[in-house]
Amino acid sequence: MAETKKLLGSTAIVTAAGQGIGEAIAKTLAREGASVAVADINLPEGKRVAAEIEATGGAAMAIQTDVTRFREVTGMVERVLNRWGTIDILVNCAGGFFRFAPILEIPEEEWDQVILLNLKSTFLCSQGVAKTMMEKKRGRIINIASQSGVGASLYGPTYLPYGAAKAGVIGFTKHLAKELGPYGITVNVVSPSTALTPRVKKIRDPDTFKKIASLSAMGHLIEPQDCAEAVLFLASQESRYITGVNLNVNAGTMIV
């Protein structure tokens, strides 16, 4: 008997889906039957991912979106609704940071930029899809945080704006889960450790990767696909009564 696709007939938005973890999530949701809006500020990369999804028989559209701007987020939501008529899944994957720096070297503008990219974007996109999900009384919102939001790492430098923003994403998730629970909407968060994404490979050297892996309980670093499979679980019917949960995907680099 052929295996039924877990998300057949559903529609998903994945932000920052043009590369790395977001790309893996978008392709995984499409693999399981979801129509996927590939939202990314980098339109060429978004188009590439959407084209690769369609080449395997999936349904996708690329939408250039700055998820720190209210009007662009509302425009993204409108385009998805106009094409597919519904939004069942939102994955807030946009985020990141640009460098490591101690507190005395972080200007106010840099702090604001990192908070906008990681935390405000999660709020704006969640707010953007909430109305249609509440009207249907169903939906999945899955936020991507980080091990840095759970606690300070024992290896390498730390970076306050990113850690604070991702801790905020985890707290935001718990409060939104309570608010939207009566509408049949689950809200969860996935917190990966250092993942072997193109961005991370640019800012860390091989020796650092080996050190991080050696400090994990399982002796491994995670791949973007590991996060994607966790998101798939939280988007599927199997997790229908799981909400407000922070799912750590970290091979045991931090056990809390």
> Are 140 and 235 spatial neighbours (Cβ–Cβ below 8 Å)?
yes
- Give me the residues paired with residue 234 across strands: none
Task: Say whether pLDDT at 210 is over 60.
Answer: yes
Query: What superfamily does domain 11-193+224-249 belong to in CATH?
Result: NAD(P)-binding Rossmann-like Domain (3.40.50.720)
Q: How confident is the model at residue 1 (pLDDT cuts 50, 70, 90)?
A: very low
pLDDT in tens, 114-135: 999 999 999 999 999 999 999 9
Selecting among 155, 159, 162, 241, the annotated active-site residue is: 162
Task: For residues 130 and 111, give the distance between their C-alpha atoms in angstroms, rounded to a whole number.
Answer: 28
Tokens 């395997």 correspond to what residue?
A: 56
pLDDT at 159: 82
pLDDT in tens, 19-34: 999 999 999 999 999 9
Residue 138: strand, helix, or coil:
coil
Helix ranges (H only) for 181-245 are: 198-203, 206-214, 224-235
pTM, whole model, 2 decimals? 0.93
Q: How confident is the model at residue 60 (pLDDT cuts 50, 70, 90)?
A: very high
pLDDT at 2: 53
Task: For residues 234 and 54, give the distance between their C-alpha atoms in angstroms, rounded to a whole number.
Answer: 24
Query: Is 162 one of the catalytic residues?
Result: yes
pLDDT in tens, 78-110: 999 999 999 999 999 999 888 888 899 999 999
Q: What is the DSSP letter of 170?
A: H
Hey, where are the domains in the chain? 11-193+224-249
